[in-house]
C-alpha cells in the first residue's frame, strides 16, 4: 500500500510536505465522488472534492478527467475540467457509471502530466414494474419544427385500467412538466403532442413515459431526444414545371412554410417520363439545396412528371425525416404536336389558295 493511503495524520502531512518540496510523480485521486438525481428524468449531478493536500501543489494546475457512460455502452464520454460539479445526461433505465482522476501538471511535476488512479461511482434508480410492462414502439417526429408528436403502444402484461403519463424536461425548465395534450385510443393515452419547444432545440430533451395499471406501477421508459434530428418538414410548395427553348424541363419550387429555416433544407427530385404506358417509373435526378433544377428530356416523351420532397440537411442536423412528395406533371410534346397539327393544314391551305389566286390572275391577264 502506498504510504499516503495510511490513515495516519502526521504521516499524511509529512507526505504532503514531501510532495510540495520535491517533484511529485504521483497524485491522489479526488475524494467523495457522488451522484445524485435532481429528478430531471435523465440528468444527474456528479460532485467530488479535490484530492488531499491539493493546496500544496503550488506552481501546478490541478484538473480532472471525468468520464461517464451507461452500463453496456462501449465508450466513455470524456470531459476535462477544473470544476468540482457537473450535470450530465444518462439513460435512467440503465445503470449510470462515472469515473474520475486527478491530472497534475506544472513546475511541481517538471511539466509532465501526472495522473492519479481512477475513482468510480455508479447510480441506479429504484427499479419499478416488470420489464415487459414498459410501453412499446415509442417514437417521435418534430413536425415543421412546430410541434413534437410522440406515440407508443401499451406494454405487455397491461391489465385493465391502465393509465400512461408522459413527462419531460429540458435545460431552462425549473422542473419536469407533464404532457397536456394526449392522444388517446379507447380512453388510453397512446401519444402526446407538445407545442412551443423552440427553447428545447439543439439540446437534450429528457422524456419519461410511465404509468400504472390497477394500483401496480409499470416500468417507465426513459429517453433523451434531440429535436433537430427528429424534424419532418411539410412538402415543398409551388412546384412549377416548364420547358425551355432547348426542350429541357425547368423545375422550380418554394420551401415549405412553417418554422423550418429554409437554409436547413435539402431536396430530392425524381422524374418519371412516360411515352404512353400508364405507370412510369420514378427515376432519381438529384439531391440538392437549391430550389430550382434543369432536367434534360432524353426520351422525347409526351408527359413528364416531377416530384420533390425535403428534409433537414447535414448543416443543421445529423438526421431527419423526409417530407411527403409534391408532384406535378407537364404534357410537353403533346402540346407542341397539337399546335403543329393545327398549324400545318392552315399554312398549307393558305399557301395553296395564294398560289391558285396568282395562277388565276395570270390566266386572266393573258
Ligand atoms: C412558450 O414557452 C415559453 C417558455 O419557454 C413561455 O414563456 C410561453 O408562454 C410559451 N407560449 C405558449 C403559447 O405556450
Ligand atoms: C411518473 O413520473 C413523474 C415524473 O418523474 C412522477 O411525478 C409521477 O409520479 C410518475 N408516475 C408514476 C405512475 O410512476
Ligand atoms: C427513357 O425511356 C427508357 C425506356 O422507356 C427508360 O428506361 C429510361 O429510364 C428513360 N429515360 C429517362 C431519362 O426517363
Which among 105, 123, 141 is the end of a domain? Answer: 123
User: Does residue 310 belong to any structural domain of this protein?
Assistant: yes
Which among 205, 231, 257 is the end of a domain? Answer: 231
Same domain, 244 and 186: no
User: What is the model's pLDDT at position 11?
Assistant: 44
User: Does residue 215 belong to any structural domain of this protein?
Assistant: yes
User: Does residue 350 belong to any structural domain of this protein?
Assistant: no
User: Does residue 115 belong to any structural domain of this protein?
Assistant: yes
Same domain, 237 and 253: yes
In this structure, are residues 39 and 175 in contact, taking their beta carbons and an 8 Å threshold? Answer: yes
User: Does residue 358 belong to any structural domain of this protein?
Assistant: no
Same domain, 92 and 40: yes
Taking 60 as the threshold, does the pLDDT of residue 20 lie above it? Answer: no
Ligand 3 touching residue 281 (CB < 6 A): no
Q: What residues make up the domain containing 276?
A: 233-338
Higher pLDDT, 298 or 139: 139
User: How many CB atoms lie under 10 A from the CB of residue 49?
Assistant: 12
Q: Which residues line ligand 1 (CB under 6 A)?
A: 196, 199
In this structure, are residues 46 and 35 in contact, taking their beta carbons and an 8 Å threshold? Answer: yes
Task: Indicate the top mutation candidate among 283, 306, 307, 330 to test ligand 3's pocket, ranked by most ligand atoms within 8 A of CB.
Answer: 283
Rounded CA-CA distance 365/361 in Å is: 6
Rounded CA-CA distance 191/205 in Å is: 16
Q: Measured from the CA of 173, which atom of ligand 1 is nearest?
A: 5
User: Does residue 360 belong to any structural domain of this protein?
Assistant: no
Which three-class secondary structure state does DSSP give residue 17? helix
Ligand 3 center to residue 299 CA distance, Å?
A: 6
Which among 123, 155, 174 is the end of a domain? Answer: 123
Same domain, 196 and 215: yes
263 burial type by CB count under 10 A (0-12 exposed, 13-18 middle, 19+ buried): exposed
DSSP state of 3: G
In this structure, are residues 67 and 46 in contact, taking their beta carbons and an 8 Å threshold? Answer: no
Q: What is the pLDDT of residues 219-231, one digit of tens each?
A: 999 999 999 999 9
Same domain, 83 and 16: yes
User: Does residue 361 belong to any structural domain of this protein?
Assistant: no
Rounded CA-CA distance 278/33 in Å is: 70
Rounded CA-CA distance 337/320 in Å is: 44
Ligand 3 touching residue 295 (CB < 6 A): no
Same domain, 135 and 116: no
Compute the mean pLDDT over every residue in the chain, rounded to the nearest whole number. Answer: 85
Ligand 2 touching residue 177 (CB < 6 A): no
Tell me the HSE value of 246 on the side-chain side, using a 13 A CA sphere.
Answer: 7
Which three-class secondary structure state does DSSP give residue 198? helix
Q: Percentage of the chain surpassing pLDDT 90? A: 60
> Which residues lie across from 191 on neighbouring strands?
151, 183
User: Does residue 344 belong to any structural domain of this protein?
Assistant: no
Same domain, 9 and 34: yes
The most distant pair of C-alpha atoms in the chain lies apart, rounded to whole Å, by: 144
Same domain, 14 and 73: yes
Cα separations in angstroms, 307 against 10, 274, 344: 81, 14, 35
Q: Is the dihedral of CA 330, 334, 337, 342 positive or negative?
A: negative
Count up the domains in the chain and report the number: 3
* C-alpha closest to that of 250 among 198, 294, 297, 308: 294
Taking 80 as the threshold, does the pLDDT of residue 343 lie above it? Answer: no
Same domain, 217 and 241: no
Task: Indicate the top mutation candidate among 272, 299, 301, 333 to test ligand 3's pocket, ranked by most ligand atoms within 8 A of CB.
Answer: 299
**What are the residue ranges of helices labelled H in 160-262?**
none
Q: What is the pLDDT of residues 155-181, one digit of tens each?
A: 886 667 899 999 999 999 999 999 999
Ligand 2 touching residue 176 (CB < 6 A): yes
> Which residues lie across from 224 on neighbouring strands?
206
CATH number at residue 239: 2.60.40.10
Same domain, 192 and 209: yes
> Which residues lie across from 43 on neighbouring strands?
89
Same domain, 163 and 224: yes
Tell me the HSE value of 339 on the side-chain side, using a 13 A CA sphere.
Answer: 5
Same domain, 21 and 91: yes
Q: What is the pLDDT of residues 42-80, one digit of tens each?
A: 999 999 999 987 777 778 889 999 999 999 999 999 999
The three cell numbers locating residue 35: 451522484
Amino acid at each position: 500500500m502506498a504510504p499516503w493511503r495510511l490513515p495516519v495524520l502526521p504521516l499524511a502531512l509529512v507526505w504532503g510536505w514531501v510532495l510540495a518540496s520535491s517533484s511529485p510523480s504521483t497524485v491522489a485521486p479526488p475524494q467523495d465522488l457522488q451522484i445524485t438525481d435532481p429528478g430531471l428524468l435523465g440528468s444527474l449531478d456528479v460532485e467530488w472534492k479535490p484530492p488531499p493536500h491539493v493546496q500544496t501543489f503550488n506552481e501546478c494546475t490541478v484538473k480532472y478527467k471525468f468520464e461517464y457512460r451507461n452500463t453496456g455502452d462501449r465508450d466513455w464520454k470524456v470531459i476535462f475540467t477544473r470544476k468540482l460539479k457537473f450535470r450530465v445526461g444518462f439513460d435512467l433505465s440503465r445503470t449510470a457509471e462515472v469515473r474520475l482522476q486527478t491530472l497534475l501538471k506544472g513546475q511541481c511535476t517538471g511539466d509532465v502530466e501526472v495522473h492519479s488512479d481512477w475513482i468510480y461511482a455508479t447510480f441506479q434508480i429504484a427499479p419499478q414494474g416488470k420489464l415487459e410492462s414498459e410501453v412499446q414502439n415509442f417514437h417521435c417526429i418534430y413536425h415543421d419544427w412546430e410541434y413534437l408528436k410522440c406515440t407508443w403502444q401499451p406494454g405487455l402484461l397491461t391489465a385493465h385500467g391502465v393509465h400512461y403519463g408522459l413527462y419531460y424536461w429540458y435545460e431552462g425548465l425549473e422542473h419536469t412538466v407533464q404532457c397536456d395534450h394526449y392522444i388517446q385510443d379507447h380512453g388510453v393515452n397512446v401519444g402526446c403532442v407538445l407545442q412551443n419547444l423552440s427553447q428545447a432545440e439543439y439540446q437534450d430533451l429528457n422524456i419519461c413515459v410511465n404509468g400504472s395499471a390497477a394500483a401496480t406501477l409499470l416500468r417507465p421508459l426513459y429517453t433523451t431526444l434531440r429535436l433537430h434530428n427528429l424534424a419532418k418538414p411539410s412538402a415543398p410548395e409551388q412546384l412549377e414545371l416548364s420547358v425551355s427553348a432547348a426542350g429541357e424541363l425547368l423545375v422550380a419550387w418554394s420551401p415549405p412554410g412553417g418554422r423550418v429555416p429554409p437554409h436547413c433544407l435539402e431536396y430530392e427530385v425524381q422524374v418519371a417520363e412516360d411515352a404512353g404506358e400508364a405507370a412510369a417509373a420514378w427515376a432519381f435526378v438529384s439531391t440538392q439545396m437549391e430550389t430550382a433544377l434543369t432536367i434534360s428530356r432524353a426520351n422525347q416523351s409526351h408527359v413528364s412528371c416531377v416530384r420533390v420532397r425535403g428534409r433537414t440537411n447535414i448543416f443543421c442536423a445529423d438526421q431527419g425525416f423526409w417530407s411527403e412528395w409534391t408532384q406535378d406533371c407537364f404534357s410537353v410534346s403533346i402540346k407542341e404536336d397539337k399546335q403543329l397539327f393545327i398549324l400545318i393544314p392552315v399554312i398549307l391551305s393558305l399557301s395553296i389558295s395564294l398560289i391558285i389566286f396568282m395562277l388565276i390572275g395570270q390566266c386572266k391577264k393573258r
